[in-house]
Amino acid sequence: MNVLYHFPLSPFSRKVRLCLGEKKVEVKLVEERYWEQDPEFRRRNPAGKVPVLKMGNKMLTESMAICEYLEDIFPEPALMPRTSDGKYEVRRIVSWFDDKFYHEVTSKLMGERVFRKLMGTGYPDSSNVKAGAKAIKYHLDYMTWLLEKRRWLAGNELSLADFAAASHLSCLDYVSDVDWNRSEVVKDWYAKIKSRPAFRSILADNIPGFPQSPQYANLDF
The answer to whether the beta carbons of residues 56 and 204 sit under 8 Å apart is no
Output 44 or 196, the one with its CB closest to its own copies. Answer: 44
Residues contacting 157, CB < 8 A, separation 6+:
78, 81, 151
Q: Identify the CA nearest to 5 among candidates 73, 46, 59.
A: 59
Cβ 220 to its own copies shortest distance, Å = 32
CB of 108: closest distance to its own copies in angstroms?
A: 15
Please, what is the minimum distance in Å from the beta carbon of residue 97 to its own copies?
A: 11
Q: For residues 54 and 196, which CB has a smaller minimum distance to its own copies in the complex?
A: 54
Considering the complex, state which of residue 24 and residue 138 has its C-beta at the smaller distance from its own copies. Answer: 138
The strand pairing partners of 152, in sequence order, are 155
Report the nearest approach of its own copies to the CB of residue 59 (Å): 10
Nearer to its own copies, 39 or 209 (CB): 39
Binding site for its own copies (CB under 8 A): 46-47, 49, 60-62, 64-66, 68-69, 72-73, 84, 87-88, 91-92, 94-96, 99-100, 142
Residue 20 vs residues 117, 166, 167, 180: alpha-carbon distances, Å:
30, 15, 13, 27
Angle at 121 (CA atoms; ends 116, 125), nearest 5 degrees: 60
CB of 11 vs its own copies, minimal distance in Å: 13
Taking the complex as a whole, how short is the minimal distance between the CB of residue 213 and its own copies, in angstroms? 29
Tell me the pairing of strands 52-55 and 3-6. Answer: antiparallel
Q: Residue 193 burial (CB < 10 Å; 0-12/13-18/19+)? A: buried
- Among 160, 194, 197, which Cα is nearest to 81's? 160
Residue spans of alpha helices (H) in 33-158: 39-44, 63-73, 84-95, 107-110, 116-119, 126-147
Nearer to its own copies, 75 or 211 (CB): 75
The smaller minimum CB distance to its own copies, of residues 94 and 158, is found at 94
